[in-house]
């Protein structure tokens, strides 16, 4: 019996110099957050439904692994959340997928809280298309004026 995990990898597509620079930037942000200079939050989205791909599975060598699925697929439940390590986790739930409107609504809330607190707040996020769309890019100057940065 084998224990295997399947995953997607983008490591070959990354520029090692750019990655090293971004890693150094992240370490500086984490140091600033540890000293209390800034609020550092991590943003991510995920989704769940009745049908899901197995991450890990056992199977006998020479056999094909089959997972029976339910007849109904069910509706997708998605979550978008901000994690501030050791301090807070703020999230929003959505039936269906997280889209740019959900993202903008959550970012508006974070920007308002940053402005109210009067502290610089930095959001670490991936390169999801909803984070990079034109509508969002137009809002970043407003959010930065409120104390929210990426």
Which pLDDT belongs to residue 75?
Answer: 84
Which pLDDT belongs to residue 74?
Answer: 75
Spatial distance between the Cα atoms of 70 and 68, rounded to a whole number of angstroms = 7
Q: For residue range 108-137, list pLDDT tens digits in order.
A: 999 999 999 999 999 999 888 889 899 999
Which pLDDT belongs to residue 61?
Answer: 74
Spatial distance between the Cα atoms of 51 and 72, rounded to a whole number of angstroms = 9
Which pLDDT belongs to residue 64?
Answer: 66
Give every residue of the chain whose pLDDT is below 70, as ranges.
Answer: 1-9, 52-59, 64-70
């Amino acid at each position: 019996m084998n224990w295997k995990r399947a995953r997607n990898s983008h490591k070959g597509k990354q520029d090692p110099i750019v990655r090293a620079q971004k890693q150094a930037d992240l370490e500086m942000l984490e140091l600033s957050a540890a000293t209390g200079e800034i609020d550092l939050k991590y943003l991510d989205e995920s989704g769940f439904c009745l049908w899901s791909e197995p991450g890990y599975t056992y199977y006998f060598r020479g056999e094909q692994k089959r997972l029976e699925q339910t007849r109904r697929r069910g509706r997708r439940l998605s979550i978008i959340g901000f994690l501030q390590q050791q301090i807070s986790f703020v999230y929003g739930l959505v039936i269906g997928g997280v889209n740019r409107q959900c993202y903008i609504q959550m970012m508006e809330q974070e920007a308002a809280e940053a402005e109210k607190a009067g502290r610089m707040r930095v959001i670490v996020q991936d390169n999801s298309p909803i984070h990079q769309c034109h509508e969002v890019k137009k809002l970043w100057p407003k959010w930065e004026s409120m104390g929210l940065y990426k």
